[in-house]
Amino acid sequence: MEFHLSRGSAELEWVTPGTFRFSRWWGNRLEAPQPKQRPSVAFEAEDRREEVVFRTEQLAVTVRKMGVLLRVDGADGVPLMADASEILPRKGGFQWEREAQAGTRYFGLGRRADATLDARGRRLRAEEPFLVASRGYAEQHLASGSYTFDLAHSRTDRYGIEVEGADHIEYCFYFGPSIKEMFERRLEVEGPPKRITVEDLGLLAWLTPGMLRRPGVANERTGGGTWSDLRDSLLKLVHGSLSGTLLGEFDLAPFLGSRAELYDRALQLATLVPVLRGAAASSLRRRLTPYLLTYAEEARERGYPIIRSLPFQFPRDAEASTRADQFMLGDELLAAPIYTPDGTRTVYLPQGIWTDFATNEVRTGRRTIRISKPDGGAPPLFARNGSIVPLAPEPGSGPMVLHYFPRLGGEFFIYESDLEDYSQVHAAPAGSYLRLEIESKKTREYEWIVHHVERPKAVSAGLWRYDDALRNLHVGCRARAGEDLIVNIAMPDPIAGGGPATQ
């Protein structure tokens, strides 16, 4: 839809029923708009005396004719975003304000070393002008320029946007209602990056501008290799994931000459970061290859970052919005890297039952715990109840290991990069039985490790052993390519469901 104004022009383009792009020009456009090859979007238009309303099945966008102010409501009439002032040209750019509804939290705007995720009450210069609002939308500003956001800092009921060095305004609006859905809609605009291979996990050459790092942003080194640098690197990774960076990166080189304790902590963080620079990967990182590769492919297909802030995964948990120093690695693993000289830290566990990946200790969620540096050099990881976590074989040879944490059912689609296809693994309780299933695209040795169960009465297939100390069941089996391999486990009692919670 084009608007011919007394000063310049404006354009509103529907990308999907939940996404639109808005542009505003004050002079003549320097170039004609390029036609977009997109599916058509059904909408209705209503021309009123003072405004025009455009409706899709998901959104209603009202454009006030005087001043070209936009208001966006959900299909249910719930207000989402609203301009509170006209966009005004200023020397070398533009500025305007929007309503900041009470209780709305704001995330994103680039890699920042802020300890709190919610930026409400702050005035920030945005490295990445991608703003996520807990009210159910995200806005991505596309016009080149330097952006500053006043997020209810000067006025508690407004947030202001200032841009310098721009000749027009252009942004995309992504309706949620969840952050995951916002990122899916962003992918529809940006388009997918190149498919990732095993070799790519350690390289930067394949990174795609716009999706993985915007053009013009220099690759950032952590600096002098101090404890403060390590903390800032962790915080920037998490903030970056909420700002549209799908694959976070970390440079280990500045820490190579640091004290042993600091280097060890930096190496633990490096183990979990999708793109690593400055050193070879650790043993655990190599074993995480199938896990990381699968989520790298999901980043390509669905637009989700591999490093996921807690609000991304737990949007209704208010406490999660305060935690910028921990993250989910995919859907299954909660990572809490230690970045302090004393080797301790607090960790917030969201709702659920969590297993310490190193000790097999069980913790209940919705609470904060204190942990110490783990033995063996592995970073602190907690697996959520109902998760399946695949690990590559130990160096040399051996089976692919499938860790399963009952009692909820779980599944994992292991991306086989050489085949561009998925092997599927499933696990779920079924009464007094436990069913493990593998649909493998390759002939491969597997070992199930089922955590927190009683010693079984019988196992229908494969070689098995039981670890009495940890209460873990190990089942080894060989799956042929194209075979649906099912293992049924007869349990003496209903599955223990994680064992007693440890305080």
User: Does 131 share its domain with 222?
Assistant: no
CATH number, position 18: 2.60.40.1760
Q: How many domains does the chain have?
A: 3
> 282: pLDDT confidence band, cut at 50, 70 and 90?
confident
* Cis peptide upstream of residue 177 (ω within 30 degrees of 0): yes
Give the Cα separation of 467 and 484 in Å (integer): 27
Q: Which pLDDT score is estimated for 202?
A: 56
Give the Cα separation of 306 and 241 in Å (integer): 8
Which of 406, 411, 413 has its CA nearest to residue 433?
A: 406
Give the Cα separation of 411 and 402 in Å (integer): 10
User: Does 22 share its domain with 83?
Assistant: yes
Contact 343, 479 (CB under 8 A): no
Across 472-477, average pLDDT: 97
Domain that holds residue 76: 2-177
382 domain residue, yes or no: no
399 domain residue, yes or no: yes
What share of the chain has pLDDT > 70, as a percent? 89
User: Does 475 share its domain with 394?
Assistant: yes
User: Does 81 share its domain with 43?
Assistant: yes
User: Does 94 share its domain with 132?
Assistant: yes
User: Does 480 share its domain with 404?
Assistant: yes
Single out the residue in 335, 364, 380 at which a domain terminates.
Answer: 335
Q: Which pLDDT score is estimated for 376?
A: 60
204 domain residue, yes or no: yes
User: Does 13 share its domain with 94?
Assistant: yes
Give the Cα separation of 348 and 322 in Å (integer): 10
93 domain residue, yes or no: yes
Residues 186-228: tens digit of each pLDDT: 999 988 877 776 666 654 333 333 333 332 233 334 345 899 9
User: Does 168 share its domain with 221?
Assistant: no
CATH number, position 286: 3.20.20.80
319 domain residue, yes or no: yes
Q: Which pLDDT score is estimated for 15?
A: 94
User: Does 165 share its domain with 245?
Assistant: no
Question: 363: which strand partners?
Answer: 354
